[in-house]
Structure formats: C-alpha cells, structure tokens
Amino acid sequence: MKITDFKILKNEWVSPDCFELSLEPWEDLDVRPGQFLELSVPGKTLRRPVSVCGRDGRILRLCVRAAGEGTVILSGLKNGVINAIGPLGNGFSLPGKDPCCTSGAAGCGHGSGMYKEGSAAESRLLIVGGGIGCAPLLLLAEEAVKAGLEVTAVFGFRDREHALFEREMKALALRSIYCFDSEGDDAVSVVRREGLTDLPFRACGPLPMMEGLASAMSSDGEFSVETRMGCGFGACMGCSIRTVSGMKRVCKDGPVFRKGEIVWQSLR
Amino acid sequence: MAELAVKLPGMELKNPLIPASGTFGYGMDHLDFFDVNECGSFSMKGTTLEPREGNALPRIAECAGGMLNAVGLQNPGAREVIESVFPELRKIYRGKIFANVSGFSVEEYAECARLLAAEDIVGAIELNISCPNVHGGGMSFGTDPKTAAEVLRAVKKTSDKPVYVKCTPQCPDLPAMCEALEEAGADGLVLLNTFLGMRLDYRTGKPVLANVTGGVSGPGIFPLALQRIYQISPRVSIPIIGCGGVCSGRDVIEMMSAGASAVEIGTSNLIDPMSVPRIKNELEAALEELGIDDINEIIGRAFK
Ligand SMILES: Cc1cc2nc3c(=O)[nH]c(=O)nc-3n(C[C@H](O)[C@H](O)[C@H](O)COP(=O)(O)OP(=O)(O)OC[C@H]3O[C@@H](n4cnc5c(N)ncnc54)[C@H](O)[C@@H]3O)c2cc1C
Ligand SMILES: Cc1cc2nc3c(=O)[nH]c(=O)nc-3n(C[C@H](O)[C@H](O)[C@H](O)COP(=O)(O)O)c2cc1C
Ligand code: FES
C-alpha cells in the first residue's frame, strides 16, 4: 500500500451515469481484483473509495458512477494529477488459489487460510454483479479466465442504456449473461433459473441483490461490501461491520468477506 | 535546525506532534506510510474496560472543511489491548503513549485506567470525558465540573502516571471546567474533542449518521479550538495539549503561540496518512523562517 500521485490519461463517460478513468501511477502498484484506491477529490475533505476494474500494464482503470458531489467533481477531471492511497483491502480470492489467505494476512475476511472449495467445483466460478458493483468483477473475471477457470458471469443493470463492460466481457473466454430490471429480470433470478446456485461464487452489487444471492446460493462464496470510510486503511473504525467473528473493518479486513461471515443486518 | 523537543509532566517528547485518539488506531495502521517513532508520542484509540462494538452504520459523514464521526468507541476492551495489542506495538514503537480511557461510570473509568497505567508503554492517561457519540456516558462527565473532578480524582488514585483530561467544547463553561480540573489534580489538559453536529440527507430529510449526531473535526474547527486555548491558557498553570483541525506546520505554531505545549493531530491523519512527517518538516521550515532555535520559545507567545 502506497500513497502516490497518478497521471490522468483518460476520463470519459461510458454510460449515462458512469465514467471511466485511466490512471498512470508514479510508482508501480500490484493490484488484486477487489482491491480499491482512496482517491483524493479537489475541494472535498475525505477521499473516495473506488475499485480497480482493469489493468493495462502499469495503468489502472476505474469505472465510477456519478453518485454525489465528490464523484461528480471526479468526472470533470480530464487531465492533470490525482493523489490516491492504494491498493487497499484484501480483494477476492480465486478458487484453488488464494494469494491473500495463504500468505497468512492477519484479519483477512476470507477466514484463516481455511478457504477450500469442493474440489469438483474448483475449476468453475460464478461471478454475479449488479450495476456499478460489476466494476471490481471485471478485473476478477479477467484473472479467473487467465487462471484457467470456467467462468459464468451474470451482470444485472437497470436497463440496456446503463449496461457496463459489454465489450470487455465479450472479449473474454467466458459465458456472460446480461439482464435488465427494465425487462423484468434480475441477476438473482437468472442464477436460479440457470441452475447455478451450487457454484462457488464472487459477487458485488446493491445490498438487496447480495442478500438475495446469499440466500439463493447453496455453495460458499465471497461478497464485496460497501460502507462509508473515514480513512480507508484501518485507522479510524469508521467502516466496521459486525461479522460472525466480531467487528471487522471493511477497508482493511474486507471489503471482501465470505458468505458465512457477514451479518447482513449490520450493513442495512 | 530548531530544537523541537518539549517537556510535559511525565512525558518528554522529541517533538510536539501527537496523533489524536481515534485517528491512529493503536499505532499500527500508519506503518505502511512512515515510522511511527517519528511522532512525539501518540494517543491510542479510546478504550473502555469492556469491549465495545460501537455505533450502527453509517458512522461517517462529510462537511465543508471537515468530517463527522459517530464511531461510538469501538474497541476490544482494556484487557485485550494489554494482552494482544501492546505486545505487537512494543515490537515497532520505542516511545510511550497516551492511553485514552473512556467509561460509563466512575468505577469503570478508574479500573480501566488502573489496568492501562500499569503497562510500561503507557506514559500517561488521557481521560476522555468528552466523547459526544455514546449515550449515557462519555460527554456527560465532561459538562459538569463536579462529576469531572470526581472521575479525575478516582483515576488519579489508581497510579502515579500523569493524567491529562480531554475536554469537550460542549461544556457550557469550559474555562471554569478547566480550572476545576486543575484544582482536582489534573496534570494537563487536552483541548479539545469534537464539536457536536449533524447532517441530513437532502433527498430524504433524514439524518445521515445512524447515531443522528456526530462529532465534527478537521480543518474547519481549527479557529474554534484555537480560541478556546487562547482563552483558557492564561487561566491555568498546567500544560495544555492543543487539538482541533491542525493540518500544517503553521497551524502547530499558531496553537503553541496561543499557549499549547504540544498539539494533537486528528483528522489530518485520515486524509493524508503522511501528515506527521509532513507537518514536522513544515514546522522546521517555519521555525527557521522565523529565526527561532527552540520551539519552547513560541509557547504562549501571544501573551508575551
Ligand atoms: C470498497 C469500495 C469500493 C467502491 N468501488 C466503487 C467503484 O468502483 N465505482 C464506483 O462508482 N463506486 C464505488 N464505490 C462507491 C463510492 O465510493 C461512492 O459512490 C462515493 O464515495 C460517493 O461519493 P460522492 O461524493 O459522489 O457522494 P456523496 O453522497 O456526496 O458522499 C458523501 C460521503 O459519503 C460517502 N459515500 C457515499 N456513498 C457511498 C458508498 N456507496 N460507498 C462508500 N461511501 C459512500 C462518500 O465517500 C463521502 O464520504 C466503492 C465503495 C467502496 C466502499
Ligand atoms: C474517526 C474519529 C474517531 C475518534 N475517536 C476518538 C476517541 O476514541 N477518543 C477521543 O478522545 N477522541 C476521539 N476522536 C477525537 C479526536 O481525537 C480529536 O479530538 C478531534 O477529532 C479533533 O481534532 P482534529 O480536528 O485534528 O481531528 C475521534 C475523532 C475522529 C475523527
Ligand atoms: S475507513 Fe477508517 S478504519 Fe476503515
């Protein structure tokens, strides 16, 4: 984890409410899928947490939804330099491979190095995203395909206009299913309908989607969750959620937690 | 280079910069950014006798010039801090810390302080009678000088270590409170904790923080904290540690000029994790610009 400046190479709208930033760090950063940056926003006291959605060599790509004042300011930064802390958080693990837990990282939300998928399922992975929650999952999908996993991705959006990453997902060797609220369909229904509820999974999206998925899945998996952050690196306890093994900081022990760890009610 | 060392009762600091409670964890979360031994000392997260989960989410909000928090004293409890946290801290930190102690009754404050003061790594107790984010405790001790003096006396009895009392700006007569604390045996004062505030979500009209209210901190409260220190320093003879919105070397000089013997840095550590080394460099540069060789010369300069 470092605090460093990034050169803004590109910043353009990719949907009616989302824009994509390409950032070149001053110092190289080693980023895992599901990790995030704390971006400094001109005129705002607190930094904004944003996941890394793609990597081209040393260049990092972020996809941001203009959700409020800070992200709207970010959407207007077309060039120059932006300061960020990162990479932050534990990130997702890949079935069969578990860089975070095997290295014995303390307090990691995946559990204490015990994470093992059923070996039959180990070669398959289900990735479920909703809206801007698909951002960290794009990088995960890329890495999972690279690792030789058989990936099925189900991405849900409000409507076709708001869909993200269609081009990138098409280019990957995986099965991807897009679904839209406007057409009366949603990611959890697709997962049920397609009979995918026993696959190891990784998910990120709005809370109702994640809670729905947690109860739909018979298998184990990981969720990336969101809370407001004071610091992003573990110092303030502003982001803590209750888990079955006590209070955990979303920024440092998370944002990725195993299904069985999360006490959903503490996130509502 | 100007001399930065300052002396406080029971604590000799190599510089006057002290990360404030709640913004520096137990000293281990800033290690990726700088060597914590560069701090004069630091004040650990507010700790209670029993573990506390803290408040519901959201606990954080933002405002122009600062932030609001309603963490609600999430901490693992004094025994766990002593058994699990201090052994880790000793491996990376050679100095002494301020043990920030909170509680809900006089007995609980005293027992928590007794346990922590017995630890070699604890240089002083920082008695937090000023937390605005827990109901039925914390701040209520900080608004009535009689109760405050009672807690202080009970805590003083539990060890020989110096006790600094951290005050709340919500106290209706802060100068009288500070005088009462000096009278009751405080070794020093920490001025101040956060200012009570709130935000509403403009869409729903409902509070952003689950706790409804929170403590306002950050650069926006600097002039407010400075005014209290300026007002109170001539009225007490015990040292004051200034706290509130300090973000730069020049802020440190202003606060010490108003009578603070050292400063605590809070919110700045969250926004810029390199705050302490940066502010130290700025402080050295500013003292050089002013032709001052010893930082002690500027303490209370406003009144000389
Ligand atoms: C680990 C993590 C990864 C994230 N990754 C992405 C991403 O890749 N793309 C993306 O568009 N968004 C992401 N978010 C959400 C993003 O951080 C918020 O949308 C953003 O902070 C909103 O800021 P604002 O100033 O526009 O909104 P405002 O509502 O004006 O913000 C006010 C305050 O609340 C905080 N806040 C508001 N909404 C959220 C939220 N949903 N999560 C956390 N803090 C919030 C802000 O940071 C700020 O401190 C992520 C959040 C987390 C915790
Ligand atoms: C997230 C957060 C948590 C805090 N927790 C504590 C605490 O546990 N005990 C305490 O005495 N003060 C606590 N404070 C108050 C700070 O120590 C400090 O007094 C206050 O923030 C004002 O200083 P600043 O403007 O430099 O932040 C906390 C402040 C913040 C922002
Ligand atoms: S945001 Fe500060 S501890 Fe997580």
- What pLDDT was estimated at residue B17? 98
pTM value is 0.94
Res B261 pLDDT > 90 = yes
| Angle value at C-alpha B199, between B196 and B205, nearest 5 degrees | 140
Residue contacts between A and B (CB atoms, under 8 Å): 93
Average pLDDT, chain B: 95
Ligand nearest to the CA of B224: 2
* Alpha carbon nearest to ligand 1 atom 11, residue: A64
Neighbour tally for A211: CB within 10 Å: 17
> A46 and B219: CB-CB below 8 Å?
no
Would you tell me which CATH number, out of the four given (3.40.50.150, 3.40.50.720, 3.40.50.80, 1.10.260.40), belongs to the domain A97-267?
3.40.50.80
Q: What is the mean pLDDT of residues A41-53?
A: 97
> What Rg do the C-alpha atoms of chain B give, in angstroms?
18
- What pLDDT was estimated at residue B130? 81
Is the torsion defined by CA of B69, A62, A251, A57 positive or negative? negative
For chain B, say whether A229 makes contact (Cβ under 8 Å). Answer: yes
For A39, nearest residue in chain B (alpha carbons): B271
**Residues near A131 by Cβ (< 8 Å), separated by ≥ 6?**
A65, A156, A157, A158, A162, A164, A205, A206
Annotated catalytic residue: which of B39, B112, B131, B243?
A: B131
On whether ipTM exceeds 0.90, the answer is yes
- What pLDDT was estimated at residue A97? 62
* Better-scored residue on pLDDT, B33 or B130: B33
Joined together, the tokens standing for residue A227 give: 């809370």
Q: Minimal CA–CA distance to A91: which of A82, A83, A102, A100?
A: A100
Phi/psi of residue B260, each to 5°?
-75, 140
Delimit the domains of chain A by residue range.
2-88, 97-267
Q: What is the mean pLDDT of residues B227-237?
A: 98
> A240 and B59: CB-CB below 8 Å?
yes
Delimit the domains of chain B by residue range.
6-303
- What pLDDT was estimated at residue A104? 38
Peptide bond just before A49 cis, omega within 30 deg? no
Q: Are strands A124-130 and A81-88 parallel, antiparallel or unpaired?
A: unpaired
Q: What is the mean pLDDT of residues B122-139?
A: 77
Res A117 pLDDT > 70 = no
Joined together, the tokens standing for residue B304 give: 């000389």
| Angle value at C-alpha B277, between A230 and B240, nearest 5 degrees | 80
For chain B, say whether A240 makes contact (Cβ under 8 Å). Answer: yes
- What pLDDT was estimated at residue B133? 62
Chain B contact set for A236 (CB, 8 A): 22-23, 25, 60, 69, 71, 270
- Which residues of B make CB contacts under 8 Å with A? 22-25, 29-30, 32-33, 45, 53-54, 56-67, 69, 71, 74, 218-219, 267, 269-274
**Helices B174-183 + B222-232 axis angle, to 10:** 50
Instruction: State the smallest CA–CA distance between residue A194 and chain B in angstroms.
Output: 35
> In terms of CATH architecture, what is B6-303?
Alpha-Beta Barrel (3.20)
- What pLDDT was estimated at residue A116? 44
Neighbour tally for B220: CB within 10 Å: 19
Q: What is the mean pLDDT of residues A239-258?
A: 97
Where is average pLDDT lowest: A237-241, B130-134, B136-140, B169-173? B136-140
Q: What is the mean pLDDT of residues B137-166?
A: 90
Find the B298 Cα to ligand 3 centroid distance in Å: 35
Per-residue pLDDT reduced to its tens digit, A86-116: 999 999 999 876 544 444 344 444 543 334 4
**Residues near B128 by Cβ (< 8 Å), separated by ≥ 6?**
B21, B46, B100, B101, B102, B138, B166, B193
Average pLDDT, chain A: 91
Q: What is the mean pLDDT of residues B240-253?
A: 98
Q: What is the mean pLDDT of residues A32-54?
A: 97
H or E segment and range at residue B99: strand B97-101
> B67 and A46: CB-CB below 8 Å?
yes
H or E segment and range at residue B98: strand B97-101
**Is B131 a known active-site residue?**
yes
- What pLDDT was estimated at residue B64? 96
Res B137 pLDDT > 70 = no
Find the B66 Cα to ligand 3 centroid distance in Å: 16
For chain B, say whether A250 makes contact (Cβ under 8 Å). Answer: no
Asked if A217 and A197 count as a contact pair (C-beta separation under 8 A), the reply is: yes
Q: What is the mean pLDDT of residues A151-160?
A: 97
Q: What fold does the segment set A2-88 form as a domain?
A: Elongation Factor Tu (Ef-tu); domain 3 (2.40.30)
Find the B23 Cα to ligand 3 centroid distance in Å: 9
Neighbour tally for B84: CB within 10 Å: 12
- What pLDDT was estimated at residue B141? 87
Say which DSSP state B44 is in. P
Q: How far is CA A147 from the centre of its chain?
A: 18
In DSSP notation, chain A reads -EEEEEEEEEEEESSSSEEEEEEEESS-----TT-EEEE--TT-SS-EEEE--EEETTEEEEEEE--SHHHHHHHT--SSEEEEEEEES----BTTB-HHHHTT-TT-TT-SS-----GGGGGEEEEEEEGGGHHHHHHHHHHHHHTT-EEEEEEEESSGGG---HHHHHTSSSEEEEEEGGGT--HHHHHHHTT-TTS-EEEES-HHHHHHHHHH-SS-EEEE-----SSSSSSS-TTEEEETTEEEETTTT-SEEEGGGB-GGGG-
Asked if A179 and A156 count as a contact pair (C-beta separation under 8 A), the reply is: yes
Q: Which of B45, B61, B271 sits opposite A47 (nearest CB)?
A: B271
Res B140 pLDDT > 80 = no
- What pLDDT was estimated at residue A111? 45
Whether A238 lines ligand 2, by a CB cut-off of 6 Å, is: yes
Q: What is the mean pLDDT of residues B276-288?
A: 98
Query: Which residue among A228, A251, A252 is best mutated to probe the pocket of ligand 1, counting the most ligand atoms within 8 A of its Cβ?
Result: A228
B34: left (phi over 0), alpha (psi -120 to 50) or beta: beta
Residue identified by tokens 């409804």 is B212
Find the B248 Cα to ligand 1 centroid distance in Å: 27
